[in-house]
Amino acid sequence: MKNTLFTLVPAFAFAMGAWAQVSPEILSERHAMLRLEHNGKYLLLPVEEKQENAHIRVVKDNQLVNTINCRLAVDKVDYYVPYEVHEGEILDIAFAANSRYTGSIKGFTCWNKMQYTDEFTEKTTEKYRPDYHHTPGHGWMNDPNGMFYKDGKWHLCYQWNPYASYWENLSWGHSSSTDLLHWTAEPTALVPDALGMIFSGSAVVDKENTAGFGKDAIVLLYTSARERQTQSMAYSTDGGKTFTKYSGNPILTADIPDFRDPKVFWNEDIKCWNLILASGQEMWIYTSSNLRDWKFESAFGRNYGNHGGVWECPDLMKMKVAGSEEEKWLLICNINPGGPFGGSATQYFVGSFDGHEFKCESAPEVTKWMDYGKDHYATVTFDNAPDGRCVAIAWMSNWQYANQVPTLQFRSANTIARDLGLYSYNGETYCSVKPVVEMDAARGKQIAAPAARCEIVLTLKGDAQITLKNKHGERVTMVYDEEEGTFDMDRRRSGNVSFSDAFPCVTSAPTNGKLRQVRLFVDRCSIEAFDADGKMAMTNLVFPTEPYNRIEIKGKAKAKVYALQ
């Protein structure tokens, strides 16, 4: 199988072809200037992750046009990131004041290694580069953002640092897909500006031109992040190829430290837009008729659910409860820290919503988790999905160690897309989570043993222990206990677990009834387990030295392994 399934950003031919060394003007012990020449489309910036950020101000025609923080290499190069060259630009570079170097910065490795090039090839060969999960071609990624479906295409933006594989310089990268599995890179959607970095947010298709940007304009609502967080808006009139920021930004402000991640949707019940955003440990709800003037309606959350951390990235949607005509609302609330196994996780609430106020139907102390793994965060759904579907994607990592996971040219992947629903069990309504139906089409022929990418279908008739392992003794053990009604996954010996004390762990899910079929989606650095009926989901990262190629089963289970195409 070819590596065609992850995002490929425009290809660059790495360090080959045009090679021209840069000549910095050293201005002081910490300060240098670089006049960009037209020696190639990109200037490769050498990164050394253990260094402090150098602060780069991009100046053109005497104006500040961009600022970038990048850990430029002092001693050695970990990897390169491409900076797109615009003629006439000057990079004004200030190194950290507490740099351990007191002598001249002239000797820094970055000057010898910076080079112009017309092309740059992503290092798609990295061992833990997922085969079929969405990843950025290079750089850091966190939350999925601005997801919408239009004209047969799923659009997925994401929190992206194009200038290194750690959290910084937040922009919105953008990919699209026709099948939720094969992703194609699109031009960057949003880059930081004078209002701040671009934090998380959402997208809507404005079918009736309520905002005045045009019929079917795509409107993005996002957080501009500086000392305080404000909400801003951008729009696209070319189907999502390019976005223009609204000149009246910001459109929503508040004197609150954590005030972010607006999710907008059209509420047919009140014929109005609703916006829900995270404010400290509450979710605030607004209404608008034009997407820019927002009226505060109510706050939800005090005393409800888990409050072990800040509430982030909300979502709110109406769905039918399986097996009935009854409709209820699902409020998604990502929380960090406070997750069931430490760090980040997605909790949710079920209740009613009249367009103005959300009322949770469960007792305040009830906490419901959408996924019982440790690497499932910032879950949000696509706007305008066909057939009334609620399709969600989560960031497959955890803030406890996301910046330390053992990858280099890129860091982080998204989960496979999931179809959400509601079901009743023991007097409560829960969110069901299933791999999207598109994953069925990806199932290939049956194969004899697990591989780097595969789907394993477990048929269960009672208690069972399932172990995936490789010849190095690295293993992931899953245990189904029918009487307890639990499904556990143990990754303490899964391979490289040493990069963070918070990584080795056993995660455990309540099964809400008997499990009869479990689907395991295995990729190069992840395992996602789903009850085929949607009652349980568990997403965990793993970093084996070699892919697991053996499966061992004890107890009442049978396994079939399928190639994934």
Active site residues: 143
> Cβ neighbours of residue 92 under 8 Å, at least 6 residues apart?
31, 33, 56, 57, 58, 59
Apex 157 CA angle, 349 and 59, nearest 5: 130
Burial 50-86 (b: 16+ CB within 10 A, else e): ebebbbbebbeeeeeebebebbbbbeebbbbbbbebe
Which positions lie near ligand FRU, rule CB under 6 A?
A: 142-143, 159, 170, 199-200, 223, 260-261, 312-313, 378
**Residue number with CB closer to ligand FRU (243 or 423):** 243
**For residue 369, which of 389, 397, 347, 395 has the smallest C-alpha distance?**
347
**For residue 199, which of 415, 383, 378 has the smallest C-alpha distance?**
378
The number of beta carbons lying within 10 Å of the beta carbon of residue 245 is: 18
The Cα 380–Cα 320 span in angstroms is 18
Element (H, E) at 111: helix 109-113
**Residue number with CB closer to ligand FRU (222 or 358):** 222
**Residue number with CB closer to ligand FRU (258 or 533):** 258
**426 class by beta-carbon count within 10 Å (0-12 exposed, 13-18 middle, 19+ buried):** exposed
The two beta strands, 377-381 and 358-360, are unpaired
CA Rg value for the chain: 24
CB of residue 412 vs ligand FRU: minimum separation in angstroms? 11
The two beta strands, 272-279 and 282-288, are antiparallel
Element (H, E) at 442: helix 438-442
**Residue number with CB closer to ligand FRU (201 or 421):** 201
**Residue number with CB closer to ligand FRU (280 or 555):** 280
CB of residue 553 vs ligand FRU: minimum separation in angstroms? 37
**Residue number with CB closer to ligand FRU (134 or 519):** 134
CB of residue 295 vs ligand FRU: minimum separation in angstroms? 23
**Residue number with CB closer to ligand FRU (149 or 377):** 377
**From the centroid of its chain, how far is CA 379?**
8
Apex 182 CA angle, 215 and 334, nearest 5: 70
CB of residue 199 vs ligand FRU: minimum separation in angstroms? 3
CB of residue 201 vs ligand FRU: minimum separation in angstroms? 8
Name the phi and psi angles at 105, rounded to 5.
-80, 0
β-strand partners of 413:
none
CB of residue 558 vs ligand FRU: minimum separation in angstroms? 39
CB of residue 312 vs ligand FRU: minimum separation in angstroms? 4
CB of residue 223 vs ligand FRU: minimum separation in angstroms? 5
The two beta strands, 139-150 and 410-411, are parallel
> Cβ neighbours of residue 366 under 8 Å, at least 6 residues apart?
305, 428
Residue 121 and residue 5 in contact, taking contact as beta carbons nearer than 8 Å: no
The Cα 252–Cα 231 span in angstroms is 5
What one-character-per-residue DSSP string does 533-565 give?
Answer: TSS-EEEEE---SS---EEEEEEEEEEEEEEE-
CB of residue 392 vs ligand FRU: minimum separation in angstroms? 15
**Residue number with CB closer to ligand FRU (105 or 316):** 316
**Residue number with CB closer to ligand FRU (385 or 394):** 394
